[in-house]
Structure 1
Amino acid sequence: MWRDKPRMFAEKACHKCLEKEKFALGKTKIFFRTGQVALLERIRVETLSASAILIQSCWRGFVARRKFLVLRKSLLTIQLRYEKSAVIIQKYWRGYLVRRASIERRKKIVLVQCCVRRWLARRRLRELKIESRSVLHLQKLNTGLENKIIDLKMKLDLMTAERNRLARAEVTLEKLRAEMGILEAER
């Protein structure tokens, strides 16, 4: 606007910053009362200073935001690494716990199997002891019966031998009687 209509721009700018009696507009110049140039210079310096401060604060904000974004990105990268590491550690820890629980379970199963086998073995041992006692009893009975059988066999053999001897003696006696009958008949 100041290039198209410089007089109007100058008038508006002076009205905005100064009172009407403190300046006058000429054809090509602006005339100020005493102290007004210093006031305008002070306003200009303050405006420049405020603008510089605003630009600096915007720049610092931009730099701080950019630095913050870089830091946040690196922080997110580090957090992501930590999370991945934590997930891996958790995975291995859970696997370790499962393996340890499996080993403990297997030990308990083996212990139960051992106890059951021991109980079955003891029961079988009792049965075998009872059976052994009955076998020993039967063996004793068998030995006694064998002895009786041997005695009876010996008696049977003796009786058979005696019967055979008696049979021979009878045969001999019959022969002798026959001979005696012959001899008596001859006499």
Structure 2
Amino acid sequence: MRRLAMLILGGAVAAAGVGCGSDSSIDYGFYSNNHGENPAMEKKVITVDSTERIEQNQQLGLTAEGTIKGKAPGILLRVIVQDVFETSFTDGTKTPPGMRVMAVEVQIANAGARVFDDSPAAGTTVIDAAGKKYKSLPGTASVDGGEMFPNPFGLQPQDQRTALVPFVVPEGVNIKQVEFQVDKGGESGLWRIP
């Protein structure tokens, strides 16, 4: 029994030493989905190298996963843009003439050590084929096809949430990219829409 306790203690000390080096460009985050919502994401260890990761985050395809750091220490998200589709308001909001309603379905997993409490809608932008950017609607709007991210939003470490971000864009506009930025000054990911 005593030997087993020493082995466990030794393993804990060795695990605590992982990542203790002089290279400050590497962060180590751990994400475990304890809710059984997405078994493929369970117990996945994330190693983050800033330069390579930022380059990869600008070349993401739809349904690809980006690992994005916030400006504040301890903010690290795994983000997937799952879908972009046309929809309609369900709260009585009128669609302006010549415009249409779009929704972006985003999955966010908190792989950091701190609560992520910024609004995902505020950090999400859609970009058309001409490069014009469109900001999301306020958090009070609701659309058909799923739930909206709540505002205020608080995502505990190791938790995840999938919800919609609504947009109003001109009819005929072809949405080609979705950008997601973590808080003001944080990193961003860019998903290309086929």
The question of a shared fold, defined as TM-score above 0.5 by the shorter chain, is answered with: no
TM-score, scaled to structure 2: 0.15
Name whichever structure is richer in strand by fraction: 2
Name whichever structure is richer in helix by fraction: 1
